[in-house]
Structure 1
Amino acid sequence: MNRSTALYLLVAASLAVPATAFSQWQWKDGTGRMVYSDVPPPPSVPDRAIVMAPGRAAGAYRPVEAETAAKADGQADAKAPAGDAPRARQVSARAKDKPAAGTDPDQAFRERREERLKADLEAATKEREQLARQTRCEEMSNYATGLREGMRISKAGPDGAAHRLNGDERAAELDKVSQSMAQHCS
């Protein structure tokens, strides 16, 4: 191994170590022992015992449930630092979406997702119907213009053979198309 390869490996290793160190949870368990883990602590660990959480500075972690419970009890948000006002607003906005205490969070998520999918499906169906209606109206308008301009129009007869419309049939067809346009394309 040459010197430059060893240097690159050393730099890569030194960059990889801090990234894994920042993705660790730290908290003190019930016996006062420091626990390091890559998964969040169990719900039985109070938020004051959590020393560090991924993506936050040491001591800045406060779970959403604790803030929501404090606000529900009518307590002021005394623990939050002064610069944490936007975060408090975000938490209160998220608290509206939180499920009731006895419900399964996954079930609540699935219900919200189904409602959103249903609303998206309804919107897409309405849009598709509106587009189909516009297309039908344009086709009827073009057909009516052709009838007015004297364009040769043929229809299939009872025997399946094509026959051209005469003047009376053309006027009757134009009336029928005009009534349909007035009813569906207004």
Structure 2
Amino acid sequence: MKMHKLLLLAVACTWALGAAAQWQWIDKDGRKVFSDRPPPSDIPEKSILKQPSGAARTASLPANPPAAGDTPAPASAASQSQAGAKPAATGKDKELEEKKAQAEAAEAAKKKAEDEKVARAKTENCTRARQAKASLETGRPMMHNNAQGERVYMDEAARNAEIKRANEVIASDCAR
């Protein structure tokens, strides 16, 4: 009975060896790869560390093998079509691009609206500053509220300070 179990264990171990990776190579990123399939054709022979005994390296199998009735294309034509063709965009990529374009358009519209709002505010500030400057330059006595909230007549220094402030607003907000 012990011999039977030992034999069974030996057979199980040999089956496991058949499932082990038979190919070893170093990929383009410098990582060691173990596989039961041959490496891709872009891996140079010097990078192959181990291969099954008696097996010659062949090109990797295509992702979609041809059907029984199809005739395979020549290797040179297949490699040319793969090298020159870009991968087809999937539906998710199109949706992502559309959402990105919509977001960019919304951001541009928001920026344009903000710019228009700032332009209107500058125009209004310019108009008010010009009116205030014209009123101050008339020389008529003007009143303003002091720090205590009392109405007092504006002296010459206060008038010149207000004219200077109006000129600064005109310089910054009025288009020339």
TM-score when normalising by structure 1: 0.42
TM-score when normalising by structure 2: 0.44
- Greater Rg by CA: 2
Q: Give the number of the structure whose residues are more often helix, by fraction.
A: 1
